[in-house]
């Protein structure tokens, strides 16, 4: 009944359409908007199971930060912090893309500490952080703040403050981390500022949100991460299983496990993680070693991107369903580490996935640091940029890596170490791809593949991919680009659907 209103919800937050979606408790709209109830002062997700409020008592907001800026508090039942994030890229509006890039950079918990000393209501919008982000994006901070407020309805500081508070709320509810560690992990300069922010915005003492749990076992912590259905869990696990590098990752019994190194400023944290998919609740259950606990907000961000939990299936469906009617839930796997993904892309040039996995296994065994985990055979970290930059040609050659790829790996590692290339969401995609193509041994296919998975650019299109051309029934990159023009700005999702269709056809 309400399907006809989908574009209105996506484009204009049309209130009647939102109310129909709310009454249906449709999980496809989870995180696309929030429902604020004037009679209670609470805002909820559209999937909240409480009795539907009367229409005249409801206001709709596109972002949680807008609801909080209007004076509403998050629901303790549906927990807005668990909702998928709303960031539709189905636009050719340059200013909106700029605002979304800024939001992606601000979503990184490492950035939250830049405003830790200016987290009062009187602080200027974003402090020095927005200046740094504006410089990265090549615009003035004044212009970026104006565009941000136009598209998000709140100032950068209000947006970031909501992100920090909701992250803290999740850590309090789902873990037994000490409050001081929750405050620091969420970007607050002190427990006092943390408590003050909660009292001012939520009218609560943080400890009142802590759920009764048994004491932590010192081994792991678990949190839940929501997605919008449909989500093809089997396709995601199949993709990860086919490419899993022995020694550092594996997929067994529907669970994905791997080791991980997280860089946080001057600090490096290492550990392991496991992800289990709860299809009935449309949630991924993330379990991580306690060594990663202090970096949990960063880890959550990385896992959400790696599993594409924030995809907008309605917008993607509108562009791709006609061509791929049986692939609505196929997502684009990202990565937990941009440098790692780029290295794997280089290793996979012009060889099969199985051969690339073999090279990855040798590389991890030779240059990856050992680590203890609960799973036998998952016991190494991926090599650091410094380790690969220092690797000699003879050492790499003994692994079966050709001289051309050796040159590419050395150049890539040195560029990342020097800070000349950043490989994470929010960077300027065109400029980063151009910089990648200047490196020896890296062409357009590799740059586009990195843009697709590491930079999270939904319109990335590695047209030179032979399997992609075969699936499209063409024999050149130019013809592939022309064939995929109708799927803009979601060509990246068409790539995964084409690959998925090819894999299904060869397995039957």
State the average pLDDT over residues 397-403: 97
Residue 377 has pLDDT above 60, yes or no: yes
Residue 134 shares a structural domain with residue 11: no
Place of tokens 């600090």: 267
Residue 251 shares a structural domain with residue 310: yes
Residues composing the chain: 508
Q: Residue 60: is it exposed, middle or buried by C-beta count within 10 angstroms (0-12/13-18/19+)?
A: buried
pLDDT value of position 506: 65
pLDDT band at 88 (very low <50, low <70, confident <90, very high): low
Residue 423 shares a structural domain with residue 462: yes
Residue 338 shares a structural domain with residue 380: yes
Residue 280 shares a structural domain with residue 413: yes
In a domain, 425, yes or no: yes
DSSP SS3 for 494: helix
Q: What is the pLDDT of residues 384-398, one digit of tens each?
A: 999 999 999 999 999
Specify whether 44 is catalytic: yes
Residue 278 shares a structural domain with residue 394: yes
pLDDT band at 121 (very low <50, low <70, confident <90, very high): very low
CATH for 63:
3.40.10.10
> How far apart are alpha carbons 371 and 368 in whole angstroms?
9
Order of all β-strands in the sheet with 73-74: 58-61, 34-37, 42-44, 73-74
Please indicate, yes or no, whether the overall pTM of this predicted structure exceeds 0.85. yes
> How far apart are alpha carbons 79 and 209 in whole angstroms?
11
Residue 253 shares a structural domain with residue 122: no
In a domain, 215, yes or no: no
pLDDT value of position 231: 97
Query: Domain containing 358: what range?
Result: 221-507
**Region of poorest pLDDT, from 52-61, 191-200, 319-328, 499-508:** 499-508
Residue 215 has pLDDT above 70, yes or no: no
pLDDT over 90, % of the chain: 69
Residue 358 shares a structural domain with residue 502: yes
pLDDT value of position 179: 92
In a domain, 307, yes or no: yes
Is the four-CA dihedral 456, 462, 467, 470 of positive or negative sign?
A: positive
- End of a domain among 209, 234, 261? 209
- End of a domain among 187, 209, 231? 209
In a domain, 333, yes or no: yes
From the list 67, 26, 146, 95, the residue with the least C-alpha distance to 9 is 26
Helix runs in 268-337, H state only: 296-306, 313-320
Residue 60 shares a structural domain with residue 123: no
- Find out whether the peptide bond into 489 is cis, omega within 30 degrees of 0: yes
In a domain, 82, yes or no: no
Considering the candidates 30, 119, 312, 465, report the single residue annotated as catalytic.
465
* Domain count along the chain: 3
Q: Residue 92: is it exposed, middle or buried by C-beta count within 10 angstroms (0-12/13-18/19+)?
A: exposed
DSSP H or E run through 66: helix 64-69
Residue 327 shares a structural domain with residue 437: yes
State the average pLDDT over residues 469-474: 94
- End of a domain among 178, 209, 240? 209
For the chain, the helix, strand and coil percentages under 3-state DSSP, each to the nearest 5: 50, 10, 35
Residue 379 has pLDDT above 90, yes or no: yes
Residue 296 has pLDDT above 50, yes or no: yes
In a domain, 111, yes or no: yes
- Find out whether the peptide bond into 230 is cis, omega within 30 degrees of 0: yes
Residue 389 shares a structural domain with residue 458: yes
Considering the candidates 18, 44, 78, 433, report the single residue annotated as catalytic.
44
**Region of poorest pLDDT, from 36-50, 90-104, 146-160, 444-458:** 90-104
pLDDT band at 424 (very low <50, low <70, confident <90, very high): very high
Residue 201 has pLDDT above 60, yes or no: yes
Specify whether 465 is catalytic: yes
Is the four-CA dihedral 415, 417, 422, 424 of positive or negative sign?
A: positive
CATH for 197:
1.10.10.60
Residue 65 shares a structural domain with residue 103: no
In a domain, 498, yes or no: yes
């Amino acid at each position: 009944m309400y399907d006809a209103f989908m574009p209105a919800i996506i484009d204009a937050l049309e209130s009647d359409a939102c109310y129909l979606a709310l009454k249906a408790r449709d999980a496809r709209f989870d995180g696309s908007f929030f429902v604020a109830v004037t009679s209670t002062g609470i805002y909820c997700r559209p999937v909240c199971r409480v009795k539907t409020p009367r229409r005249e008592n409801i206001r709709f907001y596109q972002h949680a930060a807008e609801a909080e800026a209007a004076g509403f508090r998050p629901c303790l039942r549906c927990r807005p912090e668990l909702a998928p994030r709303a960031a539709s890229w189905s636009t050719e509006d340059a200013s909106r893309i700029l605002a979304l890039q800024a939001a992606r950079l601000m979503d990184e918990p490492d950035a939250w500490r830049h405003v830790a000393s200016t987290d009062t209501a009187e602080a200027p919008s974003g402090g020095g952080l927005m200046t740094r982000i504006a410089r990265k994006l090549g615009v003035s901070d004044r212009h970026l703040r104006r565009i941000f407020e136009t598209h998000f309805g709140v100032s950068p500081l209000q947006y970031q403050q909501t992100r920090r508070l909701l992250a803290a709320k999740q850590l309090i509810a789902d873990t037994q981390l000490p409050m001081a560690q929750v405050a620091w992990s969420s970007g607050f300069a002190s427990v006092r500022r943390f408590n003050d922010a909660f009292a001012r915005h939520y009218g609560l003492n943080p400890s009142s949100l802590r759920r009764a749990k048994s004491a932590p076992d010192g081994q792991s912590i678990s949190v839940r991460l929501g997605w919008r259905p449909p989500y093809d869990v089997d396709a995601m696990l199949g993709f990860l299983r086919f490419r899993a590098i022995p020694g550092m990752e594996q997929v067994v019994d529907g669970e994905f496990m791997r080791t991980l190194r997280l860089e946080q400023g001057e600090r490096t944290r290492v550990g392991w993680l496991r992800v289990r998919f709860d299809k009935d609740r449309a949630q991924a259950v993330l379990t991580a070693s306690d060594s990663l606990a202090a970096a949990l907000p960063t880890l959550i961000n990385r896992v959400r991107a790696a599993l594409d939990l924030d995809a907008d299936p309605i917008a993607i469906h509108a562009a791709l369903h006609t061509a791929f009617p049986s692939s609505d839930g196929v997502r684009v796997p990202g990565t937990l580490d941009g440098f790692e993904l780029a290295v794997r892309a280089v290793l996979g040039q012009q060889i099969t996935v199985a051969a690339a996995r073999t090279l990855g296994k040798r590389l991890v065994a030779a240059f990856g640091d050992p680590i203890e985990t609960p799973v036998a055979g998952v016991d190494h970290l991926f090599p650091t940029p410094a380790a690969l930059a220092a690797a000699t040609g003879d050492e790499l050659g003994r692994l079966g890596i050709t001289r051309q790829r050796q040159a590419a790996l050395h150049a890539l590692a040195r560029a990342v170490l020097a800070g000349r290339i950043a490989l994470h969401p929010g960077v300027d995609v065109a400029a980063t791809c151009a910089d990648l193509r200047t490196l020896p041994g890296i062409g357009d296919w590799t740059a586009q593949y990195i843009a697709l998975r590491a930079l999270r650019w939904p319109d990335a299109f590695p047209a030179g991919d032979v399997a992609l051309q075969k699936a499209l029934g063409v024999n050149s990159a130019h013809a592939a680009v022309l064939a995929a023009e109708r799927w803009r700005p979601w060509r990246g999702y068409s790539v995964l659907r084409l690959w998925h269709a090819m894999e299904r056809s060869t397995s039957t």
